[in-house]
Amino acid sequence: MWTDGACKGNPGPGGWGVLMRAGGHQKEMHGGEAQTTNNRMELLAVIEGLGALKRSCTVVVHTDSQYVMKGMTEWLTNWKRRGWITSDKKPVKNAELWRALDEQVGRHRVSWRWVKGHAGDPGNERADALANMGVESTRRRAG
């Protein structure tokens, strides 16, 4: 699974995109919100992708977001232990999305791979295009 978020202005209209591949099958998804942030869209992309899986799966999530990557591999355990408070004693931003992502990850066997954005990784490039489609569809709806 490759995921990406996009935001035109931060905050501003945003979109998320997901490319999933398994065997010979491929699925693409995108969506967005009228007033959001890039970080929220990065999180929502993974939540929507994992949520679309009908049964427990082994998934490699490719993300170009250090926020998502570090959140899931470094920060989440301590946030939960501290009651969703950061190390500098502030509430975790986007806690409801982190909780939703944690719930989705709990349904699957997930490993995380960081990829450099806009560096030619075909899956990441497609997820980026899908995220931008999400921005555009959101703009048209708001229109």
Q: Find, among 46, 49, 42, the residue nearest to 93 by Cα.
A: 42
* Strands of the chain, DSSP E: 2-7, 12-22, 25-36, 58-63, 109-114
Q: Among this protein's residues, is 102 annotated catalytic?
A: no
Question: Among residues 32, 42, 48, 71, which one is catalytic?
Answer: 42
Question: Among residues 5, 31, 32, 49, which one is catalytic?
Answer: 5
Question: Among residues 15, 30, 128, 134, which one is catalytic?
Answer: 128
Question: Among residues 15, 17, 30, 64, which one is catalytic?
Answer: 64
Q: Among this protein's residues, is 4 annotated catalytic?
A: yes
Q: Among this protein's residues, is 42 annotated catalytic?
A: yes
Question: Among residues 4, 17, 48, 62, which one is catalytic?
Answer: 4
Q: Among this protein's residues, is 134 annotated catalytic?
A: no
Question: Among residues 24, 74, 88, 118, which one is catalytic?
Answer: 118
Question: Which residues, 6 or more positions from 110, have their beta carbon under 8 angstroms from its beta carbon?
Answer: 50, 59, 60, 61
Q: Among this protein's residues, is 12 annotated catalytic?
A: no
The answer to whether residues 33 and 138 touch, using CB atoms and an 8 Å cutoff, is yes
Question: Known catalytic residues?
Answer: 4-5, 42, 64, 118, 128
